[in-house]
Every structure is written in structure tokens, then in C-alpha cells.
Structure 1
Amino acid sequence: MLDATPRSLTAVADALMEREEALVTAQVKAVREFAGYDRIPLPSLRSSARRNVLRVVSVLRGSPDLPAEAEETERQSGGQRALQGIPADVVVGAYRAVMGLLREEFLATATDLQIPAVDVLHATRLLWDLTDRYSTEVVAERQQIDIEFARRDEQERLAFLQRLLTGTLLPAEVLVGGVAYGLVPDAEYWVSRGRHPEEHRHALSRRLEYSGATSTFRPLIGWIDGDVVAVTAKRPTVEADGAVLAVSGPVPPAGFPQAFGEATRLLNVAARFQRQGLVDNNTLSIRIAVVEEGELSEALLARYATPVLATGATAGIVLSTVRTFLACRRHIAETAAALSVHVNTVRYRLARYAELTGADLDDTETLIEVWWALESWALREQTPGA
């Protein structure tokens, strides 16, 4: 079995240390050939090069650990290069190049000192292992730095979006942030707020990313109070998979807070009516007033629902039948099919409703009031205590 630290290798290590300055200079010259390394200060390059010499010498002397005067690790060096904007593959390529240079110097020195071939082979393997191990560490540190950069960028992006939509940014911040994220002051964008089942938590944001992007603008997407919020360059689309997306716009960046308030209002109305898919002012229309005009809703409920509710347990069946009748465009046969009852049953319930409320469903004005009252009643049934 070969000794881990042959005495002959110590002699090579001593010879390399005597040429330390020349080896440092040779390494600096080699890495300057790699893209981006011309931007790195010379003292930083020389420090890394000196550390490489010390590590090779330490391996040849039987200890892969650096001396106390060179405590900075290759992981930290990789992190520094990431901060200096040099790609990971370039960093690894430069590191392997200078380690190759040092291996060549080792072989040349070993030949001059007539070191036994078996010792040279042993040391060469050690140096290759050293190169591979620290190349891996360089990549690992670079990946960690990239992850941190991405996380920080996403956090900054989310914070900017939240403040942009809630109107808490100063005009100068809107301008600077807009440039950073591709917002054009005079262009118009869509503002959205959506809600989704928990199992589809990220499906809605991915749909917004896909459907709202253009070649010049990547959608700003984030979260506020558990809802997906977004600014998109195109009117977005959404799958009817349980998600509801309220959209407002298009508006310039200065109008984002108002548009966000509108999207929030529309989303609340859509949620009350258990709507799915894309909703806006047009699709919700008068339902917005049903939710928001509380006093009018109370008056219509008292006139067109309370007399029926006072009759007891079957009141809900009668009101549901009338509501379905209106939804079926006042076709009795369609209403019977929708409720899975006989047409005479529908006729009886409609007559009972007219008897209790005095409502004439052939009168247009009365028809609108009844519809409003029954939509308000349905909302209360869905959210008891509202």
C-alpha cells in the first residue's frame, strides 16, 4: 500500500512554494482570458490564485485543508464571482483551467526532481480529486446565490405590485419601478383579482402569466389577502375550474389603484353569487346593485319574499320555483324539467306565490322587482346571518 504522503511529494510541494509568486502571476494571466474576469480587481484574483497554490501544496504535504492564513473557501469565492456577474460555467471553467496549470507545474517539477512514477500518479489523482471537489463547491455556492437573487427579486416584485395596486407608492417610485418591470406610463393594462380552490392554488397565476403576457411585458402577479392579483398587458382568460377572476381596465398605471378597487368589488359580488370564470362589470351588471344596494334589497325582500317565508317550511320551495321560473325565461315546461317536477306542480307554486305576494309576473316592472328580491333571498340562503 502506497503511503498517503510520500516524502518525495513533500519535496515537490517545497519547490512549488518557492515559485509561489510566479504561479500566482501565471494563474492571473490565465483567468484574464475568461469573459468577465477583466472586471475583477487584481488583488481579488491574486488572493484566489495564492489560495490555489497553498491548497495544492497542502494536498502534496498530506493535508487538503488550507493554512490559517487562507481561510476563505472556494464556496465563498464562487459567491463573490456570482455577485460580480460572472456565469457559473465560466467560473468553473476558469477554476479548472488554473488547477490544470498547477497540475502541469507539479508534473514538470516532479520530473525535474526525478520523483518515482508511482508517487507522481498518486499525487496526480489527489489533485484531480481536489479540482473536482472544489469545482462542485463553487457551483453549489453559485446556485445558492442565484436562488437568493431570484427570491429577493420576487419579493421586491411582489412588494412593488402590492404598493402599486393599493396606491401607496410615490409618483417617483411608480416611475422608477415601472421602468424596472416594463410598465410604460402611457400604455394601458388590465388589473385583476382572483380566487380559486385551494387545490388549484397556482393554476390561476400560471394562467394569468400565460394569457396576459406580450412580447414586451411580463405580467406582474402576486398575492393579497390570499387572492391572486395581477397587472397584465392583455385581457386575461381563466379556466372554469372553480376559479373566479374579476378584471378591470384597461387603464394606465396612474389608474391602477382605482381599477384594483373595482376588481376587488367585482370579485366580492361574484363570490356572493358563486360565479366562476372571468367576470367584469358587464357580466355581473345588475347583480352588483343587488349586493350593494342594501336598503332597496330589504324593501323588495319585505314585499316579495317575507309573505312567503311567513308560511313555514315550504316557503323555500315556492321561492326557489319562482326563481327558477325566471331563470328559465318564464317557460313552465323548462322550469318543470329543471326542478324534476310535473308542470302542474310548477303552476300551483306560481299561483301560490302570486296569492301570497300579489305579484303579477306578466308585468315588466314587477318582474324586475321580484327577480331582485329573490336574488337577495338566495344570497341570504347561501350566507346565513348576512
Structure 2
Amino acid sequence: MSAKPRPPAKTPRRRLVARLRGDRERMVAMIIERVLEQIPDYAPTVAEMLRPTTNAMIDQLLAALDGQRGPTPAELATFVEYGRERARQRISLEGVLRAWRLAIRLLLDELAAAAPASGADDRLLLQMTNELLDIVDSAILAYSRGHREVELERIGRESQQRAEFTAALLTGRVGPTELHQQAQRYGLDTGREYRAFRTRPSEAVTAEELERLLRQALHAERVFLTRIDGDLAGFTDRDFTLDAPVPIGFGTATRLADLDHSFRLASRAYATAAAFGRRGTCDFTELGLLPAVVADPELGAELVRRYLLPLGTGDATTVLVDTVAHFLESGMRVEATAARLIVHQNTVRYRIGRFEELTGCDLRSPHTALQVWWAIQHARLG
């Protein structure tokens, strides 16, 4: 009978890797102990939660080292999943990388300590050390990618939840209990006053650009943004001025529980500013009666018929109406109107008299003056 072939003798590399595999349980226990002691992020974690993945990672590192190769695609996919698992456990990426450094230092120490008994000379030890570091670099990249994926998913979910809460608050769909809970979650003060705002993207500025402008004007954590019917809406506790290419309507300051009222006023402020061609931040309280002019077009049309149609059309009519508008806006002071228009005071008096003659009205009557002002503002809406 022929003798069975003997298995090939183990090389120093194989003996060294075998020694490390034999000590794996002890090394894993040491790694976990040091991680729990030295890295605060892992404090809430128990050893048994870390043991399966730590065992598997050491096995994969040693397998790659034994085969003188880098991690396989399947092993890299496993490292990605391990990174995702740590992220789901709320362990920061910084904490994870600190744990990796701690584990690799221990593994390198064990590699050096086991080298003499395995017949590994200094040259082989240096080669295996460099190989192990290369393997670890690839593993850490995969691990970090998995961790970041979960973090981005979480940020997306939290951003969506914040936007949904903002929309519900602005539209009056948040009850007292939920308001209290969400206010604590987002660091909002239910006793503090906030202002709602509303704006709309246009050909001049996209929604993304508009959002970036708002976040630059306000600290990101101090502004709450959402989308409502295609518009960009939100609230903040800060006053600011922004020279945007579109109007940004602001409501009055109010507490969180009444923020839907502020948002309704912000919506009217935006609609008014847009109708009159204004840009940038626009406060509802600064618009006076203009929101009412926009909101009641039937009344405006009737006042135009009463006070402006009798004037006819043409350049002379335009000059007449412009003079009356300046006269009303200056508090019906002839001197101030003349200075604004750069004309003689008698010219102003003539034009006012001509307007009153053609319309049969008396601008000295406050009630009549308001109606004429309303008619002019409605006509400016086109």
C-alpha cells in the first residue's frame, strides 16, 4: 500500500495566524472590555451586544491576512452592515473609529507577541503588519460607509418629521399634548413668541435657492421650514431682513399654540406683496389696508368705477391720479406733495381741484379720501 501524502507543513505565516485564531476569544474579550471602559459612546452597550460582530470581524481580518489578500466583496458588504448596526445603536462614527483603533492596536500587539513562537522573523512580521493595516483600511471604509448611510437615513427621517410638525403647527393641526411634547423635542418655548412666514419660488429663484437664503439669514436650528401647497413656509423667533428676488410675507408674533393665526396673516402678507410687485421681507403690520384691497376686488372695482373712470384715459389722467396718490400719501399736504413731484404748489392745488371737479368728490372728507386711496391702490393691481 502506498503511503498517504502528508499535508504540507505549516508556514510561519500560517502558524502565526493559527495562534491568533486560537486566542481569538481572549482578544475579543479584551477589546470589548477596553472599548466599554474607554469610549463613552459604548457605555450604554452591554458586552454581549458587541461580541458577535467583534468575533466575526476578527475572523474576517485573520482570513484575509492568512490568504494574503484584501477583503472580498462579500466581506466588505458584511463590514458595511456592521457599520449600519453600530449607527442604529446610536454609537457615533467617531466612537466607532476610536474602537477600531483600539482593536487594531491590540491585534498588532498580539501579532508581535506571537511571532517568535511561530517562527516568524522580523521581515515577515513587518510584511504581515503592513498587510493587516491595508486590510483594516478597506474594512474601515466599508464600515464607515454603512454607518453614514444610516445617519443620512436618520437625518432624512428627522428632517421630514420636523417639516411635518411645522406644517401641522402652521395649519392648526397640533393639539395641546402633542404641542408640549414636540416643543420639548425641538427645544421650543411654548411661552415665547414666534412669527410665521410664507414665500414662493419663481423663475428668479428656485425652492432650493430660496431655502438656502433663509437658512443663511437664520441659524439653521432656529428656523423651521416646510412646504405647503408648493410654497416655502415656516416660523422663527428672530427678526431679519432679506433682499430676496421674491416677497417673503411675515405674520405677527404669537405663541406656538396660535401660530396658525400668524401663518394666515403671513399668507396674506405674501399675497399682498406679490400683487403689488414687492420683494424681500414684508411684514403684515406694515402693509396697512393693502391686504384688504387685495382681498376685496369687487369693492375695489366699484370704487374705481366711481372715482377713476370719470377721469377718462391718457397721460393727463395718469398725471392727475399720480398727484392725488402723492397728496393722500403725504397726509394731504400740498407743500409735501409739490416737493415730491418737483412742481409748484399751485400746480398741485389745480390738479386736486380738477380731480374733485371731475369726480364730484371732496378729498377733505376722510371717508371720501379713503375710498379714493382704495380705488387708486386697486387700479395699481392692474
TM range (shorter): 0.7 to 0.9
Match of 2:368 in 1: 366
- Matched letter for residue 204 of structure 1: L
Unmatched 5+ stretches in structure 1? 1-5, 382-386
| Distance in structure 1 (CA, Å) of the matches to 2:181 and 2:24 | 49
Rate the CA distance shift 1:118–1:278 in 2: closer, same or farther, 3 A. closer
- How far residue 44 of structure 1 moved from its aligned partner, in angstroms, is 3.8
- How far residue 198 of structure 1 moved from its aligned partner, in angstroms, is 1.7
Q: Aligned-residue CA RMSD in angstroms? A: 3.3
Percent identical pairs in the alignment equals 28
Match of 1:179 in 2: 184
- How far residue 350 of structure 1 moved from its aligned partner, in angstroms, is 4.3
Which of 246, 250, 271 pairs up with 2:274? 271
Which of 286, 290, 302 pairs up with 1:287? 290
Rate the CA distance shift 1:28–1:36 in 2: closer, same or farther, 3 A. same
- How far residue 204 of structure 1 moved from its aligned partner, in angstroms, is 3.1
- The answer to whether structure 1 residue 56 and structure 2 residue 71 are counterparts is no
Which of 211, 216, 226 pairs up with 1:222? 226
Which of 200, 203, 207 pairs up with 2:213? 203
Rate the CA distance shift 1:38–1:283 in 2: closer, same or farther, 3 A. closer
Q: Contact between 1:191 and 1:229, CA under 8 Å: does it hold in 2?
A: no
- Matched letter for residue 237 of structure 1: F
Q: Contact between 2:199 and 2:233, CA under 8 Å: does it hold in 1?
A: no
Match of 1:304 in 2: 307
How many residue pairs were aligned?
365
Q: Contact between 1:24 and 1:49, CA under 8 Å: does it hold in 2?
A: yes
| Distance in structure 1 (CA, Å) of the matches to 2:79 and 2:267 | 51
- The answer to whether structure 1 residue 109 and structure 2 residue 114 are counterparts is yes
| Distance in structure 1 (CA, Å) of the matches to 2:121 and 2:360 | 114
- How far residue 293 of structure 1 moved from its aligned partner, in angstroms, is 3.5
Match of 2:260 in 1: 257
Deviates more, 1:146-155 or 1:246-255: 246-255
Match of 2:139 in 1: 134
- Matched letter for residue 19 of structure 1: D
- How far residue 101 of structure 1 moved from its aligned partner, in angstroms, is 1.6
Unmatched 5+ stretches in structure 2? 1-9
- How far residue 342 of structure 1 moved from its aligned partner, in angstroms, is 7.5
- How far residue 71 of structure 1 moved from its aligned partner, in angstroms, is 7.6
Which of 26, 30, 50 pairs up with 2:30? 26
Rate the CA distance shift 1:331–1:36 in 2: closer, same or farther, 3 A. closer
Rate the CA distance shift 1:16–1:237 in 2: closer, same or farther, 3 A. closer
Match of 1:16 in 2: 20
- How far residue 29 of structure 1 moved from its aligned partner, in angstroms, is 2.8
Rate the CA distance shift 1:78–1:369 in 2: closer, same or farther, 3 A. same
Determine helix, strand or coil for the equivalent of 2:198.
strand
TM-score if structure 2 supplies the norm length?
0.81
Rate the CA distance shift 1:221–1:206 in 2: closer, same or farther, 3 A. farther
Determine helix, strand or coil for the equivalent of 1:133.
helix
| Distance in structure 2 (CA, Å) of the matches to 1:188 and 1:246 | 21
Match of 1:40 in 2: 45
Superposed CA deviations along residues 283-317 of structure 1, whole A, max 9, x for unmatched, are 222223323334432332111111123x4565444
TM-score if structure 1 supplies the norm length?
0.80
Match of 1:95 in 2: 100
